[in-house]
Amino acid sequence: MSPEKRAHPRFPTRLRVAFEQGGARVDAVTRDLSLGGMFVESAVSPPFGCELELTVALPLLTELARLRCVVRWVTPVGFGVSFKSLRAVETWAVNRLAVRSP
C-alpha cells in the first residue's frame, strides 16, 4: 500500500508475533507498525481478507497483546494487516514505540 493512503504512518520495528494457521502456531516478526496495522514477515501467510488474532510482545506492556486483525495484502515474504481495534493500553504502547523510532 502506498504511504499516501495510510491514516497512520508506519515506523520500522522488530517485534515477536505469533498467530494460528491451519491449527498450528506460527512464529514471525514485524517489519513495521502503526496505530492502524503492521507488516508481518512470515514464510506462512493467511489468505487475503482473513480475520485473525496476532499475539504481539509490545515493549512496555507486561502481558502479550492479543490484536484482532484483518489481512489486507499478502506478499511472498509476509502479509500486511489492519487492526480491528486497539485497547487504550495497546494504543499507548504503540505510540511510545513510535516516539522512540528513528
Distance from first CA to last CA of the chain, Å, rounded? 21
Tell me which residue range forms the domain holding 55.
3-100
Q: How many structural domains are present in the chain?
A: 1
**CATH at 67:** 2.40.10.220
Per residue in 30-55, pLDDT (tens digit) is: 999 999 999 999 999 999 999 999 99
Cell of 16: 515477536
Q: What's the pTM?
A: 0.87
Q: How many CA atoms lie within 13 A of 55 on its CB side?
A: 9
